[in-house]
Structure 1
Amino acid sequence: MKRLLYFFICFGVLIFWSSCRNDFEFTPSTGNLEFARDTVYLDTVFNNIGSSTYNLKVYNRSDEDIVIPTIQLERGTASFYRMNVDGGTGNEGTPQEGKFFENVELLAKDSLFIFIETTIDIATLPTLDTEFLYTDRILFDGGTNQQDVDLVTLVKDAVFIYPDFQGNTTMFENLNFDVDGDGIVDETSLPGRFLTNSELTFTNEKPYVIYGYAATPEGETLTMEAGARVHFHADSGILITNNSTLTINGASSSDQELLENEVILEGDRLEPIFEDVPGQWGTVYLFNGSVSNTINHATIKNATIGVLAEGNDDAPTDKLTITNSQIYNTSSFGLLGRATSISAENVVINNSGQSSFAGTVGGKYNFTHCTIANYWNNSFRQFPAVLLNDFTQIDETTIGTNPLIEANFNNCIIYGNDNPEFILDQQGDDFSFKFTNCLLRFDNSNLEGTTNYVFSDMTFYDSNIFNADPDFKAPFDNLMQIGEDSGANGIGSTIFSTQVPFDLLNTSRSASPDAGAFESVIFDD
């Protein structure tokens, strides 16, 4: 009996307590919302390319559960922005979807998220500029209770180069061309297309955005003029085919932040979080048969392989001449040569998942006043900053060799955060190399004194400095200038500095030149 009485008393208390609760009674918002920020800046986007998703946190600091009568974009259904409020898209299936929300509930001392994206068609905007600052506002409630948060996006017009689709599918067409030089067109797995004649000159008027591989027709030249900006989507790149040529004609810039005359090749994600992310796009592929390629004053970054040059090591002119250029943040190789010929002056390469420079399967390589470093810290690195070999693996038991005709490094810095930072992997009989007046990182007692590592043999090593601190400004941030305490100071030979009298910043080299691409400076504290 007592248990039954106890049950009825508890049940009565529960009914009374429930009837007094007002947890589900919401009062209208009175304009006292608080926001994590008063302006949401969506980073620069290209015309008709969707942005990343950004968020805004909205707080109800009061002790009451409230309902926000409306959350809407000021431009209404014409806005290029779209919103998601705490997982909802508003009036689904109508023009107001993502633009207008009614009666949004927010508990006391709680918050909600608004997620914002944009895709902007610059052709519909009231301007003929190639850049346009597009704005809107998120309006909370109306009348005297109205509050707002600004939305701001810089949109850039661009020239888009992308492959055709295969029939009625959404698959891109693949490039077909003579891969092996036998005169027969081969099918490849590379999505892309050949550039038209009107697309063979990249100017600085608008950025270029490339999807897939943009290939030069046989016998044609792709020219990139000073100040050109080229952006690549994932798994995209440039392909220079048989008897065709790449000419990058950058120039020295007066503003080292803007690099107004530099030709810059990078990914198509413009948000700051992607600024230094390796592997965002493929490579600049100088295919076997391409001729007399030149790169001057270019910055190539965030690729899988910065530049891949292949074949023609016996050609009368170098396959690639690269000068006054920088290659950073490659997930594999910065500059990769395969049985080819490369001449480099005033070149800086850093932060590569494997080697910053690899001259493989023999070839001819000449580097003067270059800084080849590797301060990769995104994962374990298996290879040194510089790798030279003269072979290729044909199958599990067979290798094929090709002579390393020459590999000369003059007044260079070869350094990094691993040791040793150069490896000479010889399998054939002809393996010619020499390091002269260089700062080198090599401290390995197991290799030192063995074949190719007799550092007292002036046939291969002349006037080098080993393992002294290069005093880079900030190598993990790709700031590769050297300071006054650098081990590279004054160790260069004037024989080579007179061939390259100005450094990468157009500073005149001294009578006692420094090794590497930069003359030393006194760093600011």
Structure 2
Amino acid sequence: MKTLLGIVLMSALALILGGCIEDGIDTSPSSQPDFSVDTLYMGTVFTGQPTPTSRFKVYNRHDRIISISDISIRGGSRVFRLNVDGFAGENFHNVEIRPKDSIFVFVEATLAPNGRPELTEINQTIDFTTNGVTRSVVINAEGQDVRQLNGEIIDTDTRFDAVYPYQIFDSLVVSPGATLTLAPGTTLHFHDKAYCRVEGTLVSEGTPELPVNFCGDRTGNVVGQISFDLMASQWRGLEFAPESRGNRLSHTIVRNTVSGVLADSLSQVTLVNCRLRNSAGYTLRSRYADLRIVGCELAEAADGVLSLTGGKAVVNHTTIANYYLFAALRGPSVQFDHYDAESDNGSSMPYLTADFTNCIIYGNGTDLSVGDFSGSLVTLRRCLLKSNGEDVDNFIACIWDTDPLYYTVRSDYYFDYRLKPDSPALGAADPALILPEASADFYGVSRLQEAPNLGAYQAAGDQD
């Protein structure tokens, strides 16, 4: 009995000692931490204001505790600020990481103004010294001076140049009777909940080389390889107020919105070679407005891509696609309302007149909210559709139930709606239906050839 008790006690002692050894600090110079990144790219950040927080992980992949004796920014820093495992500071000592565990390092920065429009690149190094060995992570940021506007009201004819980007807080409003003109290459960054409302007129003069951008003011990646460029709900959106007239946007990109672009009652908006994408609502909504949509890409929205209620819409050589990432789709790609007596909403406004020509409507979910437009003034001519249907009075020479073969790969967060070499939409458009504004696509490639493509892009894909 005593012998058995001794064996049990010795076994227990061995387990305890083994556990102590297992949990002890590893002092071998070969036992070093690993990092989730070699370089932490914070993206382009606006000077003179704190950046959003970026982060990376430090791993202990060993079987015992490692103790990082020193964590600090080489040479000190007046630009970058650190938080290591929940503690803010400039220098950190004896930071322990348990076996097979990890800690976060958070980084913020405030970059001094550059005094010029060009970007200023800043690189600094965080050193991690463990068991006498120093390993490093580089922090990279590009500083951009920016013009800040807060609750800006445009009440006289005004032109924004592209020398510096603009950062909009609260709102940018174009008053009745005033015209805001955006020069080629102008970029408007909207802060959280900010919006642009056009009660007068907006003219956006983007070009293939210098498009105009409406976007959120977050840069870099949300997490991993997911860029803020893909994220909706960063700002409210662009609104054309009732009776706003003469609006024309060319080569203009509007993204990252809560509610997309709204053309309200009796407003008049022309979109030529524009990209509207990444909305938590609709990408483009029209309520009794006069819309002309030519050579555009309308894509990625939770509620649906295009919503037309009454009014007039001319849609030519436009790609309408929905592969929205961050929510289940709540509606078809194109939603039609108030287009005939059966869909009358009691508004006493004219029914919808819509003409879709040489377009592609294909993506996840349903393409059209209506399958029969008999007796209405809605027509689709020479369009490629996801639906499995057949030509009737309001569907003329359409291509049914056919994948256009975009370059888009949703699972890889890659969205390119140009067409692969074996796409059935290549050379499938009717040249007689090309509107004058559609003579060239977003990239400046001519459509005036024997066999133009359906949809927004004549340019070959996967070449950027």
Normalising TM by the smaller chain, what interval?
0.7 to 0.9
Q: 1:400 pairs with 334, 347, 369, which one?
A: 347
> 2:416 touches 2:462 (CA, 8 Å); kept in 1?
no
> 1:388 touches 1:424 (CA, 8 Å); kept in 2?
no
Does residue 442 of structure 1 match 2:401?
no
> 1:305 touches 1:333 (CA, 8 Å); kept in 2?
yes
Does residue 87 of structure 1 match 2:86?
yes
Determine the C-alpha separation between the residues in 2 that align with 1:421 and 1:398: 19
Determine the C-alpha separation between the residues in 1 that align with 2:308 and 2:345: 20
Determine the C-alpha separation between the residues in 1 that align with 2:136 and 2:422: 54
Per the alignment, residue 111 of structure 2 pairs with 121
Per the alignment, residue 181 of structure 1 pairs with none
Deviation at 1:30, TM superposition (A): 6.7
Per the alignment, residue 463 of structure 1 pairs with 397
Change in CA separation of 1:112 and 1:456 when aligned onto 2, cut-off 3 Å: closer
Per the alignment, residue 42 of structure 2 pairs with 42
> 2:416 touches 2:461 (CA, 8 Å); kept in 1?
no
Aligned residue identity for 1:232: F
Deviation at 1:141, TM superposition (A): 5.5
Determine the C-alpha separation between the residues in 2 that align with 1:73 and 1:29: 24
Deviation at 1:215, TM superposition (A): 1.0
Q: Which whole-Å deviations, capped at 9, do the CAs of 1:136-186 have from their partners, x for residues lacking one?
A: 3334459976554432222222122234xxxxxxxxxxxxxxxxxxxxxxx
Q: 2:308 pairs with 355, 359, 365, which one?
A: 359
Determine the C-alpha separation between the residues in 1 that align with 2:129 and 2:63: 17
Q: 2:258 pairs with 304, 317, 331, which one?
A: 304
The TM-score normalised by the length of structure 1 is 0.72
Per the alignment, residue 257 of structure 1 pairs with none
Q: Which whole-Å deviations, capped at 9, do the CAs of 1:446-466 have from their partners, x for residues lacking one?
A: xx8xxxxxx432xx3333332
- The count of residues paired between Structure 1 and Structure 2 equals 441
> 1:29 touches 1:68 (CA, 8 Å); kept in 2?
no
Per the alignment, residue 278 of structure 1 pairs with 232
Q: Which whole-Å deviations, capped at 9, do the CAs of 1:332-371 have from their partners, x for residues lacking one?
A: 21111101101121111122222222111x1011112222
Determine the C-alpha separation between the residues in 2 that align with 1:409 and 1:502: 18
Determine the C-alpha separation between the residues in 2 that align with 1:369 and 1:27: 65
Determine the C-alpha separation between the residues in 2 that align with 1:419 and 1:101: 55
Determine the C-alpha separation between the residues in 2 that align with 1:22 and 1:480: 58
Change in CA separation of 1:474 and 1:27 when aligned onto 2, cut-off 3 Å: closer
Determine the C-alpha separation between the residues in 2 that align with 1:142 and 1:488: 59
Deviation at 1:226, TM superposition (A): 1.0
Aligned residue identity for 1:248: S
Per the alignment, residue 171 of structure 1 pairs with none
Aligned residue identity for 1:262: P
1:46-445 equivalences in 2 (<5 Å) = 46-47=46-47, 48-57=49-58, 59=60, 68-76=68-76, 78-89=77-88, 98-105=89-96, 109=99, 113-123=103-113, 128=116, 130-140=118-128, 148-163=136-151, 193-195=152-154, 200-241=158-199, 244-253=200-209, 261-272=210-221, 273=226, 274-312=228-266, 319-360=268-309, 362-376=310-324, 378-390=326-338, 399-404=346-351, 406-423=353-370, 431-443=376-388
CA RMSD of aligned residues (A): 3.9
Deviation at 1:131, TM superposition (A): 1.8
Change in CA separation of 1:442 and 1:110 when aligned onto 2, cut-off 3 Å: closer
Determine the C-alpha separation between the residues in 2 that align with 1:86 and 1:102: 12
Determine the C-alpha separation between the residues in 1 that align with 2:256 and 2:137: 34
Q: Which whole-Å deviations, capped at 9, do the CAs of 1:110-136 have from their partners, x for residues lacking one?
A: 66525122131323x7x7454222233
Unmatched runs of 5 consecutive residues or more in structure 1: 90-97, 164-192, 254-260, 314-318, 449-454
Of 303-312 and 478-487, deviating more is 478-487
The TM-score normalised by the length of structure 2 is 0.81
> 1:140 touches 1:147 (CA, 8 Å); kept in 2?
yes
> 2:68 touches 2:130 (CA, 8 Å); kept in 1?
no
Per the alignment, residue 482 of structure 1 pairs with 419
Deviation at 1:520, TM superposition (A): 7.3
1:15-30 equivalences in 2 (<5 Å) = none
Q: For 1:219, what is the secondary structure of its paired residue?
A: coil
Change in CA separation of 1:470 and 1:73 when aligned onto 2, cut-off 3 Å: closer
Deviation at 1:420, TM superposition (A): 4.7
Q: For 1:150, what is the secondary structure of its paired residue?
A: strand
Determine the C-alpha separation between the residues in 1 that align with 2:376 and 2:423: 31
Q: For 1:285, what is the secondary structure of its paired residue?
A: strand
Deviation at 1:271, TM superposition (A): 1.8
Determine the C-alpha separation between the residues in 2 that align with 1:144 and 1:377: 46
Change in CA separation of 1:194 and 1:31 when aligned onto 2, cut-off 3 Å: farther
Determine the C-alpha separation between the residues in 2 that align with 1:376 and 1:114: 30
Determine the C-alpha separation between the residues in 2 that align with 1:220 and 1:139: 55
Aligned residue identity for 1:466: W
Aligned residue identity for 1:497: I
Does residue 494 of structure 1 match 2:435?
no
1:2-13 equivalences in 2 (<5 Å) = none
Aligned residue identity for 1:418: G
Change in CA separation of 1:415 and 1:138 when aligned onto 2, cut-off 3 Å: closer
